[in-house]
A = this chain, B = another copy of it.
Amino acid sequence: MGERLVVIGADAAGMTAASQVRRRNREFEVIAYEMGNHASYAACGEPYHIAGIIDPIDKLIARTPEQFARAGIDLHLRHEVTAIDLDRRVVEVQDADGETSLEKGFDHLMVSTGARAFVPPMPGRGLDGVHTLRTLGDAAALRSIADAGCGNAVIVGGGYIGLEVAEAFHTKGWAVTIVEGLPAVLPRTLDADLGEQVAEAVRSMGIDVFTGAMVEQIEGTDRVTGISIEGGSLPADVVVLSIGSRPVVELARDAGIPLGETGAIAVDDHQRTGIEGVWSAGDCAEVQHRVTGRPVNMHLATVANKTGRVAGVNITGGDVVFPGAIGTAITRVHDLEIATTGLRSSDAAAAGFDVVDATVSGGTIAHYMPGSEELTIRVTAERGSGRLVGAQIVGGSGAGKRIDVFATAIWDGMMAGALEWVDLAYAPPFAPVWDLIAIAARKAAAAAGA
Contacts and interface: CB of A to CB of B under 8 A. Distances in A.
Question: Which 6 interchain pairs have the tightest Cβ spacing?
Answer: A330-B425, A59-B368, A328-B423, A408-B408, A411-B422, A326-B423
Interface string A424-450: 111111110111010000000000000
A403 interface: yes
Interface in A378-433: 398, 400-405, 407-409, 411-412, 414, 418-419, 421-431, 433
Nearest to A49: B368
Interface in A12-70: 12, 42, 44-45, 48, 53-54, 59-60
Contacts of A403: 425
* Best-surrounded residue of A45, A332, A409, A428 (most CB of chain B within 10 A): A428
A369 interface: yes
A226 interface: no
* Best-surrounded residue of A404, A414, A423 (most CB of chain B within 10 A): A423
Contact of A329 (B300, B326, B427): B427
A400 B425 CA distance: 9
* Best-surrounded residue of A54, A59, A302, A330 (most CB of chain B within 10 A): A302
B428 A48 contact: yes
A437 B408 CA distance: 11
* Best-surrounded residue of A290, A323, A435 (most CB of chain B within 10 A): A323
A427 B325 CA distance: 16
A306 interface: yes
A322 interface: yes
Contacts of A425: 328-330, 339, 341, 400-401, 403-404, 407
Interface residues of A, number: 64
Given A331-B427, A405-B405, A425-B339, A433 B370 contact: no
A305 interface: yes
A331 B339 CA distance: 25
A279 to B, nearest CB: 18
A447 to B, nearest CB: 17
A332 to B, nearest CB: 5
Given A59-B368, A404-B424, A305 B409 contact: no
Given A42-B366, A428-B45, A428-B48, A423 B325 contact: yes
B42 A433 contact: yes
A228 to B, nearest CB: 33
